[in-house]
Amino acid sequence: MEETRVCPCKAMGESRREFCAAIAALGLGAAAVVPGAVAAFSGGFDPIMRGSAAGETPEFNLGALSSLPEDGTPVKKAIIADKQDGWTKYSNVPVGAVWLRREGDKVSAFNVLCPHNGCFIAFDPDGKQFKCPCHNAFFQLDGKQNGSSISPRDMDSLDVEVRDGNVFVKFQNFKFGCEEKIAQA
């Protein structure tokens, strides 16, 4: 006793009157949904719409030059700044870190974040090289890649300046996983 089914399109109604009622129902229904949808949409996509404040690359004083070993052994230093964590604001906490290397009076600085995927690069004192523990990328002390590695580029060097015996570093993060060094917005 198969029943002949109504063609789904016919559900809109057969007469003009029925059709108008159906359209009105759809329209009203949609209108009723809009405010909630707008609020949900904007709330949900808030993290994207929140543009990050771009500006001058901030400079940080990382302490006295004399505190760095002269033999070129890298030293990890924290970048201390204010941090927003959700709705909490922390002042003067580590927001990043750099490897500093001093040879004589020359200082070089590298972001500790691995260009591959942003793990923290460690220093391996035995092998006298940098090593990223996540996918075993190796870098020489001057930040160049050591042999073939999964990292698409060398370690990210940062601008350093020594003024009045103090080391100043312009700190920024770069995009991961690409060959060119592109600053993160």
Residues lying near ligand FES in the complex (CB under 6 A): 114, 116-119, 132, 134-135, 137, 150-151
Q: How many Å apart are CA 35 and CA 98, to the nearest integer?
A: 47
Query: CB-wise, 119 or 162, nearer to another protein?
Result: 119
110 touches 157 (CB < 8 A): yes
Rounded Cα gap, residues 50 and 67, in angstroms: 40
Tokens 């559900």 belong to residue: 11
Would you say 121 and 85 are in contact if contact means Cβ atoms under 8 Å apart?
no
160, 163, 151, 57: which is closest to 101 by C-alpha? Answer: 160
Query: Rule CB under 8 A: is residue 87 a binding residue for another protein?
Result: yes
- Note whether 88 and 148 are within 8 A (CB): no
Binding to another protein by CB under 8 A, coded x per residue (else -) over 99-128, reads: -------------xx---xxxx-x-xx---
Residue 172 found at the interface with another protein (CB under 8 A): no
Q: In this chain, which stretch among 11-19, 54-62, 100-108, 173-181 interacts with another protein, using CB under 8 A? A: 173-181
Determine, following the binding rule CB under 8 A, whether residue 145 of this chain makes contact with another protein: no
- Decide: residue 138, CB within 10 A, 0-12 exposed, 13-18 middle, 19+ buried: middle
Residue 75 forms beta bridges with which residues? 100
Identity of the residue, 12 or 83, whose beta carbon is nearer to another protein in the bound complex: 83
Whichever of 32 and 64 has its CB closer to another protein, that residue is: 64
Chain residues binding another protein by CB under 8 A are: 44-45, 47-48, 50, 52, 63-64, 67, 69, 71, 73, 76, 78-79, 84-88, 93-97, 112-113, 117-120, 122, 124-125, 131, 133-136, 148-150, 175-177
